[in-house]
A and B are shown apart, each in its own frame.
Chain A
Amino acid sequence: DAGITQSPRHKVTETGTPVTLRCHQTENHRYMYWYRQDPGHGLRLIHYSYGVKDTDKGEVSDGYSVSRSKTEDFLLTLESATSSQTSVYFCAISIQVSYEQYFGPGTRLTVT
């Protein structure tokens, strides 16, 4: 299995509070991704990174920001959490954009 960890694995937070999710990889892959998964919507890309300090938006980026200060770490921040951001969040990595992605175990976030 690819060396990808996500923290925390579960989190419950209140509406309006900031939340940061962390993805850590030991594979030295250039590309890192954040997805959210919701019933009926499949996987939706939030943001991705193509190198240290290089990031771009995905299809559902509103309300989210990311940072990548080291190759191995990719942070996802919800500036002010809303109930619509209750979801399971997955981090993924790849060597190239068109190559296979490897996924972390996910973070279940509940916003009350």
Chain B
Amino acid sequence: AQSVTQPDIHITVSEGASLELRCNYSYGATPYLFWYVQSPGQGLQLLLKYFSGDTLVQGIKGFEAEFKRSQSSFNLRKPSVHWSDAAEYFCAVGAKGNTGNQFYFGTGTSLTVIP
């Protein structure tokens, strides 16, 4: 069965430090890949997406993600974290399968930024 795994439930980083949030998926073919951010009390906002082509994808708010087929991963990165980046981050996978198209969310990673 297809699945999306975010191994880190919670991450704490210092402001100005680099950030990497992990996402692994289980799917036979190359899926569509997404990262969302949810600030407290808000809905989910799309940060970036990967459909095909260049495996390094740039998104909004200075985020980027890299698709690594060999590792079935799509990790989110930011070189220098700002206090306003504190939020919940969700990885998602869109998949085309024999039983139809589907969409899966990971369980999320909560990011705390300390001054």
B-contacting residues of A (Cβ < 8 Å)? 41-43, 90, 92, 94, 96-106
Contact = CB atoms under 8 A, between A and B. Distances in A.
A90 B88 CA distance: 15
Contact of A42 (B41, B46, B107): B107
A97 B101 contact: yes
Nearest to B36: A103
Contacts, number: 50
Contacts of A43: 44, 90, 105
Interface of B: 31-32, 34, 36, 41-46, 49, 90, 92, 94-96, 100-103, 105-108
The interface residues of chain B, by DSSP majority, are classed as strand
Contacts of B43: 90, 103-106
B32 A99 contact: yes
Which A-B residue pairs are the 6 nearest by beta carbons? A98-B94, A97-B101, A103-B43, A98-B101, A42-B107, A103-B44
Contact of B94 (A90, A99, A103, A105): A99
A100 B32 CA distance: 8
Contacts of A103: 36, 43-45
B94 A97 contact: yes
Contact of A98 (B96, B105, B106, B107): B96
6 contacts: A42-B107, A43-B105, A90-B44, A98-B32, A100-B92, A105-B42
B25 to A, nearest CB: 13
